[in-house]
A and B are shown apart, each in its own frame.
Chain A
């Protein structure tokens, strides 16, 4: 139990669907991250929120839209995705000011786009 939960754990969607991924952290951290993990590739940072403000948008296509309503919750809204967007999407959290980036990751959402 890492203190970072993600729902759903698995998601299959068509290219015309709209869905959302949810992340919740119970660690009292104030920074949250979305990463994309594809097979045999390094983790790719997508978005970073620090103190509920987006501080990083790593050239992510607009079909991915993040939302951070408070320091404990992070969403990733998905629409008109492509099959190459199929991957494991990981949420992570950390404390601002602590060197080294995210400490705790959630279990991920396995996304398949048909």
Chain B
């Protein structure tokens, strides 16, 4: 089955709105990563999280390592048109041999 459940699958929001997306699993993770992929490009690492409860920001982006260690959240504040793209969560868990596993992605579209 799917190792990581990422939601929502897609979002269509107004410019200026805040955005939230999350990644959940039935397994415990020891690392969470969030990537963004622009059309025609490879994923770019946005934020890396290494401890339960950790909250890390990168500009308008904030990500959290869930306290249960089974989930992670990404928030984007005051979205702008260049936020368009696909956002992927990824994580490492001893249950998967500490290999990096990816979510299926959240497609973000912004109405200007």
The CA of A50 and the CA of B99, in the complex, are separated in Å by 14
- A2→B42 contact, CB < 8 A: yes
- B44→A101 contact, CB < 8 A: no
Is B31 interfacial (CB 8 A cutoff)? yes
The CA of A2 and the CA of B42, in the complex, are separated in Å by 9
User: Of the candidates A42, A91, A108, which one forms a contact with B102 in the assembled complex, judged by CB atoms under 8 Å apart?
Assistant: A42
* Proximity bits, B31-62, A CB within 8 Å = 1, else 0: 10101000011111100101000000000000
Chain A 16-55 residues near chain B, CB threshold 8 A:
40-43, 45
Q: Say whether, besides A42-B101, A42-B104, A45-B99, A99 and B92 are in contact (CB < 8 Å).
A: yes
- Counting residue pairs across A and B whose Cβ atoms lie within 8 Å, the total is 57
- B50→A99 contact, CB < 8 A: yes
Chain B 73-97 residues near chain A, CB threshold 8 A:
88, 90, 92
The CA of A102 and the CA of B92, in the complex, are separated in Å by 12
- B43→A103 contact, CB < 8 A: no
* Proximity bits, A81-108, B CB within 8 Å = 1, else 0: 0000000001110000001111111111
Contacts of B41 in A (CB 8 A): 107-108
Is A4 interfacial (CB 8 A cutoff)? yes
Contacts of A42 in B (CB 8 A): 2-4, 88, 101-105
Distance in angstroms from B10 CB to nearest chain A CB is: 10
Q: Say whether, besides A2-B42, A2-B44, A107-B42, A102 and B50 are in contact (CB < 8 Å).
A: no
Q: Say whether, besides A99-B50, A100-B31, A107-B40, A43 and B102 are in contact (CB < 8 Å).
A: yes
Contacts of B35 in A (CB 8 A): 105
The CA of A103 and the CA of B50, in the complex, are separated in Å by 14
- Interface residues in chain B, defined as those with a beta carbon under 8 Å from any beta carbon in chain A: 2-4, 9, 31, 33, 35, 40-45, 48, 50, 88, 90, 92, 99-105
- Interface residues in chain A, defined as those with a beta carbon under 8 Å from any beta carbon in chain B: 2, 4, 6, 40-43, 45, 56, 90-92, 99-108
Question: What are 12 A-B interface contacts by the 8 Å CB criterion?
Answer: A4-B42, A40-B105, A42-B102, A42-B104, A43-B88, A43-B90, A91-B42, A100-B48, A100-B92, A101-B33, A105-B44, A107-B41
